[in-house]
Amino acid sequence: MSDCTLIREQMPLLLTESLGSAGREAAHQHIEACASCETEWSKTRETWKLLAEAADRPVPTRVRARFLDEAASMGGAMSRRPVVVPFTRKPVFRRLAQAAAIAVIAGGAYFAGSTRGTTPATGTGMIASASPAPQFRISENARLSADQIAPEIAGSPAISNVRFIDHEGRPGEVGMTFDLTQKVTVTGKATDQSLVNLAAYVLGDSDHPTTSRSNAIQWVRDTYSTGQTADPQIVTALSGVLRNDAHEGVRLKAVETLGSLPAASLGGAAAQARQALIDALQNDPNTNVRLKAVEALANLAAVPDGFDPAAVETLRKKASQNDENPYLRVKAAEALSQMNL
Amino acid sequence: MMPGIRHAGAAALAIAILAPPPVGAAEAGKLTKSFSEKSSRTLDVRPGGVLWIDNAIGSIVVTGGGDKVVVETTRVLRAVDDATLESLKKKSSILIEGTPESRIVKSTGLVSSVNALARIDYVVRVPASTQLNLLSGVAEKVRVTGVSGKLYVRNWRGLVEVADATGPVQVDTVNTNVHVSFSRKPVSPMILTSVNGNIEVRVPQSSKFEWYAETMKGDILTAIPVKGRPSERPGQRIYHASVNGGGGSAIRASSITGKVYLLPMENPRALAASVLPQAPQSVVPAPKAAMKEDVGVMFRSVVASLLVVPPSTRTFEVRKGRVAGNYDFAATLGENVFVGEIDGFARIVSAGGEVVLGRVAGDCRVASQGGPINLGEVGGYAEARTVAGDVTVGTAKKGGRFGTGGGSIVVRRSLGPLVLETSGGDVIVGESASGVSAETHSGDIRVRLDSKGTADASELRTGRGNVTLEIPKDAKMTIDATISMSAEGAHRFESEFPGLTVVRERVGDGVRVRATGTINGGGPQLTISASSGNIALRRAPDKIATAAPAQR
């Protein structure tokens, strides 16, 4: 192999700064001395630059499907392939190479997962971390380094919306982003912050109603209605549901749950709950939601220092409002009569 | 004492005995550290200007007279220890703001808790023409005498007294009584409102004015001869009289649960009688058959009615053990209605209140302006609808139609067809031997049909929520189930019965999953529709007749 051939093969590595310092120095010295290689190097750099500026187009569905199928069928052999993507100036080849790299990761993950047995018993599909004590983060866009992912894919996770991404400033790296539908079971104490956060997120996630919100509210009510487990975050989430959900039944459950939470243990969140209830009492179009808001406000006021002037005024106005439901008016009056004003 | 008669003078005694204790008195035993400070200040308020006093805790006494606004205050602090007392001293203060046209006096840092009490009592002298806005929270009293400007008083607890006001008066209170008196004939309009307190207006007997009185759970009484006209709105009783021919000013008094009095100034011991055609004691339904065991209408005692303690609406109810015939009752006052057994049919119209019927032998119809409806067992066809509240039915032997403007509907067992509608809330049918039509705008639907129930068509629809249907394993039905969802995979259709075809399709921005087909060869149509929820078609337990109904 001539020096020029060797240097031209190393150009992708040179671009991605993957060569060692000695190799990099030798390559640059050759390019400076060789006119043809200098021309080739200029073209390579220009192409690389254009590729970086080009829009990221999704891979055609059939190509993507083929790679995913191959990834699923490759098994363990793939895991031993190097996770290095050779550079090519032809975009289509580069894309294919990127996809192949992902296939390597995915296939390797599948293989390792099938042998290491790190999948939770309840999981049907899971990309498991190979780290000794992994901390799984639930986020909108989880970013994982390939070398931190166990090379197994357990079960048959539904991978969708696959897109391939460029190096993002880190030459030599490629990436793949996708939506992964997997069953995750999180267990722990109700007071574990991760569970609290999850419950609050599910309650507030109106963009992705992947679960029945009313079911979530019922679970929250069953779980967090004791003095030991009530959490301000839950109050925040329920308040959001009460204010924003378009469906009466869901708001009804939210207001009932707010009313069932132990007022004495809410601390600063009691004010937030109270304000959400006041808003509901003033503005909610559904009579029963307003009715439940009255009961919940009375519940909040029943604890020491639970008195709130705004709540009293709202209840007073409701009780006196001629066009309000008469039963609700009486309930508001009853709530006021029981308050320790 | 005759029914419907109140000794107004006795009220004063009762009030004296049972008036709310001084603010914080309940805790005073623990509050051993105390501090008191008096101050006086003359404020610059132009004649006819507005004076605001905003005092969350403490009395306000205002007297009209003189040409200056003089504000005397007493700051009273009590605490469990010296540190708390010092903190109260720093935090509690009086702010004076505004202009001579509108002067604002505001108390800040007041508190009433188990550890601390900080209140400020005001004694104020103003030119009679000064307009007054008194915003009080908790006070032993708010008293205003001898003013001619506009007067507004808001108070939550503590007696409000207004004497000889010649300008327009408006009073809004919560758990407190309002006493307004005139030594001369009233000349200006007046609006007096209390949620749970009594309102007492004393005028010279020869006064001419229009009297409007309203109450929901209380009564309207007068010791001045009046000829008026009662009227009703749902749950509300209204009385209008032109006193001594009327004309002149209008006095409007309204209490939700308290009483409204009109009394002569000349006779403090005058007896007041109810002007309403049905005083609370006589609000006894007129059943079409005799009652075997009539527990009667339960109300507060006469003595209790005189107390300033807010009346409890829970005792305002009609309670019966057994009605040996039909029961036809209009609860126009919003009473709660509890009846153990009705041998005939039941027809109840409620202006708002809880309705509980243990057993109704015949047909049953209940319509309520609001409040839960609970029917134990209905032998005939049942209909129940409430504007707001849950509807719960034990057994509907001939089925029925149940609806609520907001709340859950639970039918534990039905032997006839059911039609269930709620604007928001769950629908649960423990067991039905006939078809079920259930619809909720948002909420879950859970229905179990027995073998007879699957012989009829059923339709279950929720605007947002899950639908779970249990049917016997050998049920023959034709299924058409549809889930509308915003994203693929968000919800699912599950069936324990094979043979259904499931089709997924994009509809606009969403996805629709439709399952159709027949089970066990097909039969009556079963239509299920859910948005943003799951549909589950399950096999009912074999011994469905003895199975426990689905729990909420």
B239-288 pLDDT tens trace:
999 998 888 889 999 999 899 999 999 888 888 888 887 544 333 332 33
Confidence of residue A162 (pLDDT cuts 50, 70, 90): confident
Q: Is the CB of A287 less than 8 angstroms away from the CB of B388?
A: yes
Whether ipTM tops 0.90, in short, is: no
Q: For residue A324, which residues of chain B lie inside 8 Å, CB to CB? A: none
**What is the predicted pLDDT for the residue at B272?**
87
Q: Is the CB of A316 less than 8 angstroms away from the CB of B172?
A: yes
For residue A327, the surrounding DSSP H or E stretch is helix A326-338
**What is the predicted pLDDT for the residue at B278?**
56
A337 and chain B in contact, CB less than 8 A: yes
**What is the predicted pLDDT for the residue at B141?**
93
Confidence of residue A281 (pLDDT cuts 50, 70, 90): very high
Average pLDDT, chain A: 73
Q: Which of B313, B404, B534 lies at the smallest CB-CB distance from A330?
A: B313
**What is the predicted pLDDT for the residue at B406?**
84
Closest Cα of chain A to B20: distance in Å?
Answer: 10
Best residue in B154, B196, B313, B531 to probe A by mutation, most A CBs within 10 Å?
B196
Among candidate residues B406, B492, B417, the one with its CA nearest the CA of residue B454: B417
Which amino acid, B99? T
- Are residues B157 and B94 in contact, defined by beta-carbon separation less than 8 angstroms? no
A182 and chain B in contact, CB less than 8 A: no
Q: For residue A181, which residues of chain B lie inside 8 Å, CB to CB? A: 489
Confidence of residue A324 (pLDDT cuts 50, 70, 90): confident
Which residues of chain B, if any, have pLDDT below 50?
1-28, 279-315, 544-552
Q: Is the pLDDT of residue A116 over 60?
A: no
Q: Which of B257, B314, B425 lies at the smallest CB-CB distance from A252?
A: B425
Token readout for B419 is 């039609």
- Chain A: residue nearest B489 by CA? A210
So where are chain A's domains?
3-53, 61-181, 193-338
Among candidate residues B113, B108, B112, B170, the one with its CA nearest the CA of residue B144: B170
- Are residues B350 and A330 in contact, defined by beta-carbon separation less than 8 angstroms? no
A100 and chain B in contact, CB less than 8 A: no
Closest Cα of chain B to A148: distance in Å?
Answer: 28
Q: Is the CB of A209 less than 8 angstroms away from the CB of B490?
A: yes
B window 403-462, beta carbon within 8 A of A: 404-407, 422-426, 440-444
Dist. CA A8–CA B231, nearest whole Å: 101
Return the residue matching tokens 């179009």: A285
B58 and chain A in contact, CB less than 8 A: no
Q: Is the CB of A288 less than 8 angstroms away from the CB of B404?
A: yes
Q: For residue B532, which residues of chain A lie inside 8 Å, CB to CB? A: 209, 212
**What is the predicted pLDDT for the residue at A118?**
35
Q: Is the CB of A288 less than 8 angstroms away from the CB of B312?
A: no
Q: For residue B443, which residues of chain A lie inside 8 Å, CB to CB? A: 214, 249-250, 252
Q: What is the pLDDT of residues A60-112, one digit of tens each?
A: 666 666 667 776 665 544 444 444 444 434 444 444 444 444 444 444 444 43
Helices vs strands, H then E, count in chain B: 4, 47
Other C-beta atoms within 10 Å of B302: how many? 14
Dist. CA A19–CA A12, nearest whole Å: 9
Which amino acid, B270? A
Confidence of residue A269 (pLDDT cuts 50, 70, 90): confident
| Distance from the Cα of residue B202 to its chain's centroid | 29
Token readout for B142 is 């708010």
Q: Is the CB of B489 less than 8 angstroms away from the CB of A309?
A: no
Among candidate residues B308, B310, B257, B312, the one with its CA nearest the CA of residue B17: B308
Q: For residue B373, which residues of chain A lie inside 8 Å, CB to CB? A: none
Q: Which of A247, A329, A337 lies at the smallest CB-CB distance from B442?
A: A247
Other C-beta atoms within 10 Å of A125: how many? 18
Dist. CA A248–CA A242, nearest whole Å: 9
Closest Cα of chain B to A252: distance in Å?
Answer: 7
- Are residues A210 and B490 in contact, defined by beta-carbon separation less than 8 angstroms? yes
Which amino acid, B465? G
A161 and chain B in contact, CB less than 8 A: no
**What is the predicted pLDDT for the residue at A20?**
75
Confidence of residue A167 (pLDDT cuts 50, 70, 90): low
Identify the bridge partners of residue B252 per DSSP, sorted by sequence position: B191, B212
B window 257-276, beta carbon within 8 A of A: 257
**What is the predicted pLDDT for the residue at A163?**
76
Token readout for B122 is 């005001």
Return the residue matching tokens 């034990």: B394
> Looking at domain A193-338, does it have CATH number 1.25.10.10?
yes
Mean pLDDT value across residues A233-246? 87
Please provide the size of chain B in residues: 552
**What is the predicted pLDDT for the residue at A182?**
67
Q: Which of A160, A209, A286 lies at the smallest CB-CB distance from B423?
A: A286
